[in-house]
Amino acid sequence: MQNQILLSAQKIKNLYGIHRNTLLKWEAEGLLKPVKTPGGQRRYKKTDIEKLLGLFQEEIVSEPRVILYARVSTKKQEKYLQNQIERLKSYAEREKWNYEVISEIASGVNENRKGLRKLLNHVKQGKVEKVVIEYPDRLARFGYEYLKFFFESFGVELIVINGEQNEEDRTKELAEDLIAIVTSFAAKVYGSRGGRRKN
């Protein structure tokens, strides 16, 4: 909270031309509440005076209504992640949007991504109007259409800007995501077998 500026009756008269009797009248009407000094003198909040005079407007801080979502699969792609974020920011700034960036390093087949969960919660809470991504696979390797339908059911527009992406990086990332699927599947299969009791 900002520090309140306190003014004496004389200072108010000099600044705004308001007589002390007017201040006392506002007090009696409950429109103004003075602060008493240790010596018993009245001091008035500058914001209270300006509100009564119609001179003060509270600053309205709006929450971001646009989410820029960026993702890469591995730590080795961190530089690409930063470039991806910058391209999304440039796009949003050209549109003059108030935005929030959600970025993460996680496989596109991982359903428990922290950033994705945060994004989905923002959507459910009605805090988002638009979600901007570079490519569909940034949001999810599989199930993109389901997520798009989810956003649309909450009135959220999903914008894909199709930015620049190195084809070699995309191929490597796809391979890593496929390996993650096979690894996860194998762990489940062997885990279930390991849990069986031998005769």
Cα 51 to Cα 2, 37, 57, 157, 179: the distances in Å are 16, 22, 7, 39, 63
Active site residues: 73
